[in-house]
Amino acid sequence: MTQTTIKFLYSYNGKIMPRHDGMLRYIGGHSRVLSVDRSTKFAGLSVKFLEAVGYSVNIKCKLPNEDLDVLVSITNDEDLEAIVEEYERVCPGGKIRVLLFGVGSVKKMSPVRSAGPLVDFAMKRRTWVAWEQCPVVRVTGHKVYGFRPVVGVPLVCR
């Protein structure tokens, strides 16, 4: 019978280090358990982990019966379903072991100081630009929402 919830034993802010016997272990950081509905999709799980640790993460799962040198990246619904099925096959009812690693680009990203020149350029050239997470900015009589430019999607103006 399929369970209605899945439990993840997740760790973050630590590192993988070799033990004296050559095997790998995760040391430091924090470990917690997250229980989610079995129908949760990858996007929902990513949000749960974001809320739990406070920053965007890459999700990597340890395969059952494998050492930490075999980690599977979870990047979509199919990856998530495959790892859940593998854990249900090998150790039914067991917690899925997850290591969370901060998204590297988050630390290197800095906010745009002035959106005006880029918006003016976009409006003159009809470049497709979107903006994310910014208070309303007034540029040439238009309201532009967002903060970081994302090229390739329509400019949102009202």
DSSP state of 129: E
DSSP string, 41-55: -HHHHHHHHHHHHSS
- Residues 72 and 110: their CA atoms lie apart, in Å, by 30
Give the predicted TM-score (pTM) of the model: 0.63
112, 130 Cβ separation under 8 angstroms: no
- CATH class name, domain 5-107: alpha beta
Residue 128, token pair as written in the block: 């497709």
- Tell me where in the chain the CATH 3.10.20.90 domain(s) lie: 5-107
How do residues 144-158 score in pLDDT, each as one tens digit?
A: 444 444 444 444 444
| Residue 64 Rama label (left phi>0; alpha psi -120 to 50; beta) | beta
How do residues 19-34 score in pLDDT, each as one tens digit?
A: 898 889 999 999 999 9
